[in-house]
Structure 1
Amino acid sequence: MVFTEDIFKRKNETGGSVEVICGSMFSGKTEELIRRLNRARIARLSVQIFKPKTDTRYDENAIVSHSALSFPCVAIDNSASILLFYNGEHVVAIDEAQFFDADLVEVCNTLAAKGVRVIVAGLDMDFKGRPFGPMPAVMAIAESVTKLHAVCVRCGNPALYSYRIVPGEDKILLGETESYEPRCRNCYNIV
């Protein structure tokens, strides 16, 4: 088993890497991303963070966890913009990656080929339990994938689904606890 810290230590020997943090809503993805970014800063590595402009929750110029941890970021329209804003940083982080386009895979590969440690965080499934956006493809090219689980609000078991509690069929609906709740497989399938 290869741990993220092992990949981090070998960066200079092997070049760049792609790490993925995924899971349901309320599983701590952004919090884990911020933890990794803080460790990179402690190691005196330069970092740059991106998120989609469409994510207007909390702060337009920062990634913010549900527990109010935050980190300044650049909000962009599409994944190709990451390469336009990239300034030679050691670590590039991408939050809410499920909202980006399919070119995100190529962007991650391009950065990793330049020796950059790329950390991608996002939902792996939409509210219907289907793979979400470019996340499955990014997971396929990643050196490491960390799948986090929330706590099912119905039974307390590990939750891997984001259950939408408001009506609507739009794939993208920004929201928090008023719109979604984490559920385990069993409780997700019980209406």
Structure 2
Amino acid sequence: MERLTAEGNDEHLSRHGYTSPGWIEVIAGSMFSGKSEELIRRLRRARIARLKVQVFKPEIDIRFSRDHIVSHSEMRHESAVVRTAAELLASVEPGTEVVGIDEGQFFDLELVSVANTLAARGLRVIIAGLDQDYTGRPFEPMPQLLAVAEYITKTHAICVRCGQPANFSQRIAEVEGRVVVGASDTYEARCRRCFVPHADAPTRYVTEEG
């Protein structure tokens, strides 16, 4: 039985020799787990295959660049900024074959129907994003996207405390709100054992030993 993971999508495409119908790929994991890096890798391969590619990211995420998606390892790929999933759909040009979307968790729930619409048109849709928020709860719309995706890749970081595979994003800055864009000054990758869940707002104890 063929593995339904996004790792083999390029081989799957060439082996069967078709580009339609479309499909959805989701790359999900914690912060610092290589999600954007994997997205960029796939987009570059699509360009090598001479496919028409468009890339989008939410307006909220302009930490490193406004017109590029940028990984923590400093890989980058040009992208367009959109405010909503509806604007993203309206921005997809005729002839586009691959749509890449970074930071999927920052879009509204309409991203699910947009992804389904694009896939139904025969496009390959690749979405990267956090599957959990800083409290460890599912980060919408990623759970819904995982449910409808044909291909799923789960990425892991390295726990900064013990070196084990990390699946959680520990907020270490004392800021409130579910959506807080940041990097290593705001978050750490933690494993299940080292992660300290907190329901509403971070407190000093998340960075203390013990």
- Normalising by structure 2, we get a TM-score of 0.87
Aligned partner of 2:25 in structure 1 is 19
Give structure 2 stretches of 5+ with no counterpart: 198-205
Q: What letter corresponds to residue 127 of structure 1 in structure 2? A: Y
Q: 1:80-95 maps to which residues of 2 (within 5 A)? A: 80-87=86-93, 88-95=95-102
RMSD: 1.4
Structure number, greater radius of gyration: 2
Give structure 1 stretches of 5+ with no counterpart: none
1:170 maps to which of 151, 164, 177: 177
Q: How far off its partner does 1:6 sit? A: 4.2
2:84 maps to which of 78, 81, 90: 78
Q: How far off its partner does 1:11 sit? A: 7.2
Q: What letter corresponds to residue 188 of structure 2 in structure 1? A: E
CA distance, structure 2, for counterparts of residue 166 and residue 57 of structure 1:
16
* Structure 1 runs (4+) greater than 6 angstroms displaced: none
- Using the aligned pairs only, state the percent identity: 52
Aligned partner of 2:13 in structure 1 is 8
Q: How far off its partner does 1:64 sit? A: 0.5
Aligned partner of 1:183 in structure 2 is 190
- Normalising by structure 1, we get a TM-score of 0.95
Q: Is 1:44 the equivalent of 2:50?
A: yes
The answer as to whether partners of 2:13 and 2:19 remain within 8 angstroms in 1 is no
Aligned partner of 1:59 in structure 2 is 65
Q: How far off its partner does 1:70 sit? A: 0.8
- Aligned to 1:185, the other structure's residue is in SS state coil
2:158 maps to which of 137, 151, 161: 151
CA distance, structure 2, for counterparts of residue 52 and residue 11 of structure 1:
33
CA distance, structure 2, for counterparts of residue 186 and residue 8 of structure 1:
39
The answer as to whether partners of 2:170 and 2:196 remain within 8 angstroms in 1 is no
Q: 1:62 to 1:11 in 2, by over 3 A?
A: farther
Comparing 166-175 with 119-128, greater Cα deviation is found at 166-175
Q: 1:98 to 1:11 in 2, by over 3 A?
A: farther
Q: 1:7 to 1:82 in 2, by over 3 A?
A: farther
1:123 maps to which of 122, 127, 130: 130
Q: How far off its partner does 1:12 sit? A: 2.1
Q: What letter corresponds to residue 40 of structure 2 in structure 1? A: I
CA distance, structure 2, for counterparts of residue 29 and residue 14 of structure 1:
25
The answer as to whether partners of 1:11 and 1:115 remain within 8 angstroms in 2 is no
The answer as to whether partners of 1:11 and 1:117 remain within 8 angstroms in 2 is no
